[in-house]
Structure formats: C-alpha cells, structure tokens
Amino acid sequence: MSGAWINFLVSLSAVVLMLVLHAFLVMCEISLVKFRYGGGNAQALEQLKRHRGIARLMEKSDQTGRAVRFSKTLCTVAVGLLLMPLVSDFFGLFESAQVPERWLVVLLSFVCATSVHFLFAEIFPRGLAMRDPLKAIQCSYRVLWVFQILTCPGMLFFRGLKRILFRRLGVDVDDELNPLDLDVQIRAMGEDSHELSPVVRKIVNRALQIQELVVQDVLLPRSQVVICDLKEDFKANLKVMKEAGHTRFPLCRGSLDNCVGILHIKDMFRRSGSLAAADLVKLKRNVATFDLETPLETALERMLRAKFHMALAVDEFGGIVGVVTFESILEELVGEIQDEFDSEEDQIRAIRAPHTYRISGLTPIHDLEEALGVQIENDEVSTFGGLITGELGRIPARGDSLSLAGMRITIDEVDERRVISVRVVCNRSASS
C-alpha cells in the first residue's frame, strides 16, 4: 500500500473517530436533558441514580453541561481541521487527477464537514437518545467522563477568562444559564411569542434551578428558631412571640426536640376568654417533618397539598436540626419576601446557614461588634463598608472575599462608590 493511501486512511480514521465521539456526547446530552425534565420514566431514573458515574453527572448538571459544550466544540473544530488534508489526500490518490485549487478544497471540506457532521454526529445520535434515553446514556456517559478529565485544565483556564470578560461587560457570572437547559428554553421561546420581562425571566430561571435544591438548602437552623415553650409561663412566651413578630411558632416542651405541633397566633386570638387561660396544646396544629435530603420541589408539593406553612427538618438519626417554611421555599423562586412588618432598617440579618449573616455596608462598626461579639481594632472608619474598603485598599468587586477579626467576608452587592451588602460567616455565634 502506497504512502498516499496510508495518509488518506489515517486522516479518514481520525475524522470518523471525532464524529463518533461527538455522537456519543450528543447522546449523553440529550439523555440528560430528557431525564432532567421528566422525559424518562421514574423507574429508569431510579436505576440511573444507583449508578455512581451517571448520578454524579446528573447531580453536577452545571458542570456537566459546560463539559458537554466544550467537548462538542473541540470535536467539531477537529473535524473541520482534519477534513481539509483529507480532501487534498483524496485527490492525490489518483495520479491522473489534478489537485484542485485551494479555495475549492476549502469549499469541498466545508460542505463535507457540514453534511457529515450534521447527519451522523447530530441528527442520528439525537434520535437514538430520544428513542431510548436510558440505553443511550449507559452507552455514552464514559466518553463524557474521559472528556471531563482531559479537558479539565482547559476548562479552568477558559472559565477564568470568561469571568474576567463577563466582569468587564458588567454581566453576573452566576446568572449564566445551565447549558442543559438550553434545549428546553429555546423550545419554550418558540411555543410562546410573548417577550418575558426581566422579573418573569428571573423567576423562570429560579424555577428551573429549584430541582437541584433540597430541604437543607433552605433550612433555618434550630439555633435561630423561636419556639413557644410549654414549660415557660404564658407571659414569657407572649413576650418572646411579640419580639419575634412571627405568626407561627413550634410548640415545644423545653426544646425543639420535643415539638408537639405548630401554634398559630390567629388561633390564640380567635378563641373566647382570657389569653392567659388558653390551653395551647388544644390550639396546636399538626406538624410535618422532612429529611434534610428531601427534594425542595417535593417539600413544596406536600406543603401545598396539606396546607402546611412550617415543617421540621430531621437528620438521618431523627434529630431535629431546624425548620423549613413555606416562605423560605417561595423565596428561592421570587427572592426575598418582606411584608409591612419587616424592618427595612435591619442591617444585620441572620440567614439560614449557621453563624452566617447578611450585613449592610452602612452598618456602624460598634453595632457589628455588639451583634457578632467581635472586636475590631480600627478607629479610622465608622461603617462596615468603609472598613472593608480600607482593608482592601480599593472599592471591592462582587465576589471578593477577605478574612477579618474572625469573620470570613464575601462581597454580595457593590456599586461604583461603596459596599452595599456582604455575607459574613462568623467563627462564633452572635450574642443574644
């Protein structure tokens, strides 16, 4: 066999390999999309979740989507680059044939690459995945795993460049859509010609992402739960409830571990007679419990069906670790909810994670020291935002972080002149 034929067969094999790899990536991608949006049956989904490799791809959907997109791009570029010498080698196989001009070789390579790639690396594997997503992902997931390992350095490099570029453009990297959602969202755009407002688009994006959340993600830790204690007298409980300003409280005997139900303020005031003489146990409502790993959409569905607004969250040993509220789930969809009784001036607000707070940049230093039990040795600034700016020596950017006085500080919101809000994880709990 002549050298020309060997070169031609090597180039042809390389092109076929790239097409096959691209086809496997498409099969894996379409299968993941179908299972992500309920396209596969529940039994097949449970079978996949028992497979560690596939389950990890489904759990890390953002990372998986980016890996698929990057790997498909590499395969497509490789096919285009390999086809040009392949076409040239094809004409060189025949001594009587004259090699066409370069522009014609480029044109033929483009036509061949487009036709072959679209038919055999896109349409055909997409059809296979839609017909049997379970079998398709079982056959193709290993290819994606290999690409994830091989392309990891490149993805990290380009991800850093993307963050820099997005920051220059004023785009929030966290708002980037999951690549696995693109098919569904593009199809939805074709079904509804109405333009979505920014608010509606944000809610839709949050609704798509809620499938990745569990009860633990919206948990209010037990250290921050205000209870109505049956072991305390009525006046003490009433004072605690007035200060908290909530409408529902776990009714407990001593601690949250002995919760007997949920007490609603309306039930107390609807009864006739003296409040002090009320039997709180008779006024209680039933309480639901959720495991920490319960999917958030499952918890929402159960709470809507049973008309519960508050439930207990338990760990694998049955211990109560906090509460989940209907409002906390809705906030994952629409953002923070405030009513007319919520304080607009609450500059230090505990959030769900332990010892974690959302703090305004305008918070006075002395208020911060008192609330968090920290000591800050800096008399040159008066606000928390000024302190952070002074420590960094510049106006911080969103996402910047630093450690200070036993606090791990992450910038959440900032404008051109000042720090608006930060998230703080404190090594010690706030003082009461």
**Domain layout of the chain by residue ranges:** 3-165, 166-213, 216-334, 348-426
pLDDT digits (tens, 9 = 90+) for 243-261: 887 889 999 998 888 999 9
pLDDT digits (tens, 9 = 90+) for 331-381: 888 876 655 455 445 778 888 778 888 898 878 787 788 888 888 887 677
- Closest by alpha carbon to 311, among 343, 288, 344? 288
What burial letters (b/e) apply to 86-103, b meaning 16+ CB within 10 Å? Answer: bbbbbebeeeeeeeeeee
Residue 117 burial class via C-beta count within 10 angstroms: exposed 0-12, middle 13-18, buried 19 and up: buried
DSSP letter at 382? -
pTM over 0.75? The answer is no
What whole-number distance in Å separates Cα of residue 24 and Cα of residue 28? 6
- Lookup: tokens for 425: 């994880």
Q: Give the distance, in angstroms, between the CA of residue 66 and the centroid of all CA atoms in the same chain.
A: 14
* Identical fold, 216-334 and 348-426: no
HSE at residue 183, side-chain half, CA atoms within 13 A, is 16
pLDDT digits (tens, 9 = 90+) for 304-321: 888 889 999 998 888 898
φ, ψ for residue 307 (rounded to 5)? 60, 40
Q: Report yes or no: 273 and 294 within 8 Å, Cβ to Cβ.
A: no
φ, ψ for residue 251 (rounded to 5)? -95, 115
Q: Which CATH number fits domain 216-334: 3.10.580.10, 3.30.43.10, 3.30.870.10, 3.40.50.620?
A: 3.10.580.10
348-426 in CATH: which number? 3.30.465.10
- Lookup: tokens for 13: 């094999």
Q: What percent of the chain has pLDDT over 90?
A: 9
How would DSSP label each residue in 412-424? EEE-SSSEEEEEE
